[in-house]
């Protein structure tokens, strides 16, 4: 069953741009939803989660060796 829910977000071409936008604006969550890279309000991410819609948070992570990677945290991924 396909679920639909209305959200507002800003679409970006890259994960790095989306994460940078969250840092610059000081708000929002960077996510991947249906292959689209978005920054959405925390409330919209919470609504997606509550509705059982699959998406992934995008998190910037510094490794002990000084390198930086992006980590995805899946939500409602039943695989």
As a whole number of angstroms, the distance between CA 41 and CA 21 comes to 12
For the stretch 18-76, pLDDT in tens is: 999 999 999 999 999 999 999 999 999 999 999 999 999 999 999 999 999 999 999 99
Torsions phi, psi for 47 (to 5 deg): -65, -40
Question: pTM score, two decimals?
Answer: 0.88
First-residue to last-residue Cα distance in the chain: 16
């Amino acid at each position: 069953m396909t679920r639909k829910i209305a959200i507002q977000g800003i679409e970006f071409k890259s994960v790095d741009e989306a994460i940078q936008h969250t840092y610059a604006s000081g708000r929002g969550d960077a996510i991947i939803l249906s292959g689209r890279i978005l920054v959405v309000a925390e409330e919209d991410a919470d609504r997606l989660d509550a509705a059982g819609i699959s998406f992934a948070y995008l998190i910037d992570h510094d490794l002990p060796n000084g390198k930086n990677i992006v980590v995805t945290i899946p939500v409602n991924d039943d695989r």
